[in-house]
Structure 1
Amino acid sequence: MNALRWLLVFGIGSSVGYGQTVNSVGMRLIDIPVGSFYMGSERDGEDGDEQPVHRVSITKPFRMAATEVTNAQYEAFDPAHRSLRGKRGFSTADDEAVVFVSYPEAVAFCEWLSKKEGKPYRLPTEAEWEYACRAGTVTDYSAGSRLPQAFHKNQKTDRDPVVVSLRVGQTPANPWGLHDMHGNVEEWCADWYGPYPTDSGRDQSQTDPVGRASGLFRVTRGGSHGTPVRYLRSANRQGMIPDDKNWIVGFRVVQGDLPASKPAPAQPPAANARQVSQQVYRWQPVSATQPVFLEPIRYVHKPDCDSGVPFFGHNHCPALTWCPNGDLLAAWFSTNEESGREMTILASRLRAGQTQWDVPSEFFKVPDRNMTGTALLNDGKGTIYHTNGVEVDGDWQDLAVALRESHDNGATWSAPVLAAPEHDKRHQVIAGLLQTREGWLIQPGDADPGPTGGTAVWVSRDKGKSWSAPYTDRKKPDFRVGATGGLIAGIHAGVVQLKDGRLMAFGRKDDLPGPDSVGLRMPMSISADMGKSWTYSASEFPPVWSGQRLILTRLNEGPILLISFTHHPDAPAEERKDMLFFDGQGKAVKGYGMYAALSFDEGKTWPVKKLLTDGRERYLNGGAWTGAFMMDATHAEPKGYLAITQSPDNLIHLVSSSMHYRFNLAWLMKKP
């Protein structure tokens, strides 16, 4: 049905015979009758959470607001919200949908309205929402298999959000007289997000479902402006961290008692959190003199197709830590596109005493949100920290930072809190979360989504409860040798604390000219004020390119370790600079790929440089942007995103985008 015919048949504002009333704040409430419908869809992939299609019966009538709550209506409850009008350019007028409202704030509005009128107001259940949206239809949209242009408000992903009017009631009403059920802004629902309950071989029908008993995210529905139109389908499921406040989520209310149905049980833990030993592991130190380099193994394994694990084609951007029980825990994103909303964070364990990593399972996923950037850190005192970027939709520019803690080896995690609640630049988490000698946490985050632009650092002095804001000057930094600025030179930076308390960092791109016409070098940044300002110089190392992420860390034994790449295999020949390594006879040998460098004087000199290979010829696959490569005496992995941890036995664990390397300091010190 085209848009014109839709308007002629149903008309704007038509309730098509359904009763309606107007309440004390001017909301038009539409009577929603009892009935049954088929909830969900048969879509696969990122929309697999819409399965199975199941019959749902709504046995009690309720009233639903014809439109989303407006600024004027919400501010009758919370006048202070007026200061948020126009934030990011959105929702300035009285009759535009209210945004920048969290789930608890939406619930508080309903409680205020209930007390004001003496009638029960609340958020709709997810089932009530889809029932009312479909209004008797079974197609993707209540308007048919396609959404007419009259509903569209910049229905595509933009790195910089495009401001559109959020005025309510301007798109055609559905057959029951409800506006803006497809788009405008997403709407909070009452339910905890979780898979639809299934019972294989039995009737899947449900009566007045109210979602799961608990969860991490609250359901949002309806899609919004600034997203591809497929996210506006009647069946599409989305969710948010309850405290998240942004420019694409608002809410509408229903009047009526909450169904008395029993919620479905909380979702069981994923495989990476099952059968996790709580026995404290007795680490046996590796030899301080005997070199150790173990066979590289893969840690990213493709799960079986029927496992239910959302495993996509691009697996990349790892984080890694050791656990007190002797396990290693790795996490990374899996996606089809790095800007995709299907992106999820998977995790796998190398359990103590085992030689092969577990098959991955889902670790952290805010529904229908891009999840770029993950970090893991064991503080050595029983707490594992997990930080993660969370977008409002797609891309990876406007990220908030979520923080979780585990005190039982990753078997359970605290509910996510927003360590950096604003969806903004400078929040792309880098796997390099570190703890200073003062016990402070430092989280590097890319300052710009592009290939250059530097890295910001967030600092928490209270174990993650609060974080200092990074440098806020929005001018493009002037990275020059000897200059000072508020950001680390280069994105994807590695950061380490020096013995005198200063921070030292190396970054990708924003390269600086080296001495004596050697060409561009990897930039080095030094901060004497815990990341508020940095001084720049050229290091002695070659630049890092796309598809590569360096590592900078302090080893348990004291030296500082840098791991990076000699060059990018796709770089033009004129930009490739040979890197020389020296064998046991002092002979210089050209090497290519991933190398390690050690400093024993706090980054002043790097006397040890070694290609990360034991010299044996082998075929390996680095996954992600790396793919297949040959390792031999002069060739190591050519690119990859790196993450590192050193377990209490002093074995160094390095992961690239797919491979797991294990070696010790004695091996690094030994000449090949």
Structure 2
Amino acid sequence: MSQNQPPVEPPSEPVAQPRKDDAVLGGQAPVPITGVVLGGLPGVTRRLAGVTVEGRIAALSEALKYGEAGLELLLKALEDESWQVQYAAFCLLQKQKSLKVKQRLKKYLPWFEFEVVTVDEQSREISRDRHFAQYFTEDLGNGVTLEMVAIPGGTFMMGSRDETRRDNEGPQHPREIAPFYMGKFSVTQTQWRAVAALPKLKRELNPDPSHFKGDNLPVENISWYDAVEFCHRLSQKSGRHYALPSEAQWEYACRAGTTTPFHFGKAITTELANYKGQYTYGSGVQGLYREQTTPVGSFQVANAFGLYDMHGNVWEWCADSWHKNYQGAPSDGRAWYDNDNPVKLLRGGSWSYAPDCCRCAFRLYSSRADDIFSTVGLRVVARRGENFYPFALLR
């Protein structure tokens, strides 16, 4: 071989990359989700601090192999920034027999599973996804309970930006909402009777005011003053602060992160909500007109926060006084209340109203706070403590 010929480089070999089923020592490189983490407890700890949600979830089962130290990692995962990781850790910990774990879990709310549906502009279902949320159960006595869902804090644009919006739905503006709890459903007639039986605070409550009768139907035919009395009695019994939602809390909770007219999307269908189905919204289709209320949760779909029947069935009282638009509105989630203004606010639409009135942004007022209608009920909210674990239940 000529000495002037350049030396031949040996063929380069590809850098070894782990296969999806390889065991991997925790480190800087992304770890295959299905791989087993080596490196003992430090390897699992590194993976639980990883970037991907999937990787952190996969490491949770590995942590169980390391006794008390592994359980501590799972307990720490209950405070992960991802609700998916929180849920996975909670499910694994619930199966443990350790008294220490059971005691620690008492500080955290349980989870429930629900379906979220999205429709297109023609009211056709285009997706159905499984979601999870946390909640607590309030005991109203005699076996009657009230489920309250943990609503995360956040910022949203309140009001409507649609060209066809009502004047009172603007100007669209940002509102910052602190975390709170909200009823999973409108208050039922059974729940109303339980609270109406509690000691009077400011006014009498009719234990059976509804026009349409049924234990699991929403209570209706109640005034704003009745709804406030209900909240006061419930607060006194429970030791928590219950109230009607502010208008900002209600719209934030209804939207659940969406910006469309309905949390379902750009249209609505009577297969998912109870409203006057002879009328349509946008390019949507006609549906049923049931001419009465339906049992709460009967459509078996919720929004992304885990709240049911936010569109239709019954209007829900809000704490605020009526204002003709949002000029001068608070920037946070407080109720905008005027002591000398007897006109109160309603949200959500009802069984006898057109779909346009069921939109997230639609606002309705009642000329007097003591008005009662078979289309009007309530849903309650409760405060969250300032110092709490993520979604922890503190009295």
TM-score interval, smaller chain: 0.5 to 0.7
Name which of 149, 166, 183 aligns with 1:47. Answer: 166
Deviation at 1:153, TM superposition (A): 2.6
Deviation at 1:211, TM superposition (A): 1.4
* Cα distance in 2 between the residues matched to 1:232 and 1:225: 10
Q: Are residue 117 (structure 1) and residue 238 (structure 2) matched?
A: yes
Q: Are residue 153 (structure 1) and residue 274 (structure 2) matched?
A: yes
Whether the 8 Å contact between 2:158 and 2:174 is mirrored in structure 1 is: yes
* Residues 517-596 of structure 1: pairs in structure 2 closer than 5 A: none
| AA matched with 1:40 | G
Q: Are residue 188 (structure 1) and residue 314 (structure 2) matched?
A: no
* Cα distance in 2 between the residues matched to 1:45 and 1:77: 41
Q: Are residue 177 (structure 1) and residue 306 (structure 2) matched?
A: yes
* Cα distance in 2 between the residues matched to 1:83 and 1:20: 28
| AA matched with 1:248 | T
Question: How many residues are matched?
Answer: 243
* Cα distance in 1 between the residues matched to 2:385 and 2:170: 24
1:134 aligns with 255
Deviation at 1:19, TM superposition (A): 1.2
Cα shift readout 1:7-39 (whole Å, capped 9, x = no counterpart): 7314xxxxx332111111311111011100000
1:104 aligns with 225
Deviation at 1:227, TM superposition (A): 1.0
| AA matched with 1:229 | P
State the TM-score, normalized to the length of structure 1: 0.34
| AA matched with 1:61 | P
| AA matched with 1:191 | D
2:357 aligns with 231
2:193 aligns with 75
Structure-2 change in CA distance of 1:95 and 1:108 (3 Å): same
Deviation at 1:179, TM superposition (A): 0.3
Structure-2 change in CA distance of 1:47 and 1:69 (3 Å): same
| AA matched with 1:8 | R
What is the DSSP-based 3-state SS (H/G/I as helix, E as strand, rest coil) of the residue aligned with 2:260?
Answer: coil
Deviation at 1:252, TM superposition (A): 0.4
Q: Are residue 217 (structure 1) and residue 343 (structure 2) matched?
A: yes
Cα shift readout 1:409-449 (whole Å, capped 9, x = no counterpart): xxxxxxxxxxxxxxxxxxxxxxxxxxxxxxxxxxxxxxxxx
What is the DSSP-based 3-state SS (H/G/I as helix, E as strand, rest coil) of the residue aligned with 1:52?
Answer: coil
Deviation at 1:186, TM superposition (A): 0.3
Structure-2 change in CA distance of 1:63 and 1:93 (3 Å): same
Structure-2 change in CA distance of 1:157 and 1:112 (3 Å): farther
* Residues 190-269 of structure 1: pairs in structure 2 closer than 5 A: 190-198=319-327, 206-214=331-339, 215-240=341-366, 241-256=368-383
Name which of 179, 192, 207 aligns with 1:61. Answer: 179
| AA matched with 2:373 | N
When Rg is computed on C-alpha atoms for both structures, the one with the higher figure is 1
Deviation at 1:156, TM superposition (A): 5.3
Whether the 8 Å contact between 2:276 and 2:291 is mirrored in structure 1 is: no
1:558 aligns with none
Structure-2 change in CA distance of 1:258 and 1:191 (3 Å): farther
Whether the 8 Å contact between 1:151 and 1:183 is mirrored in structure 2 is: no
Structure having the larger proportion of residues in helix: 2
1:164 aligns with 292
Structure having the larger proportion of residues in strand: 1
Deviation at 1:213, TM superposition (A): 2.4
Whether the 8 Å contact between 1:42 and 1:48 is mirrored in structure 2 is: no
Structure-2 change in CA distance of 1:106 and 1:173 (3 Å): same
Q: Are residue 37 (structure 1) and residue 156 (structure 2) matched?
A: yes
Deviation at 1:207, TM superposition (A): 2.0
Deviation at 1:170, TM superposition (A): 1.5
* Residues 628-639 of structure 1: pairs in structure 2 closer than 5 A: none
| AA matched with 2:298 | Q
* Cα distance in 1 between the residues matched to 2:128 and 2:351: 25
2:129 aligns with 9
* Cα distance in 1 between the residues matched to 2:150 and 2:302: 14
Structure 1: give runs of 5+ residues left out of the alignment: 11-15, 260-672
What is the DSSP-based 3-state SS (H/G/I as helix, E as strand, rest coil) of the residue aligned with 1:116?
Answer: helix
* Cα distance in 2 between the residues matched to 1:43 and 1:258: 36
* Cα distance in 1 between the residues matched to 2:353 and 2:165: 15
Name which of 23, 31, 34 aligns with 2:138. Answer: 23
2:45 aligns with none
Structure-2 change in CA distance of 1:63 and 1:100 (3 Å): same
Structure with bigger RCO (C-alpha 8 Å, 6+ apart): 2
State the TM-score, normalized to the length of structure 2: 0.57
CA RMSD, Structure 1 to Structure 2 (Å): 2.7
* Residues 249-398 of structure 1: pairs in structure 2 closer than 5 A: 249-256=376-383
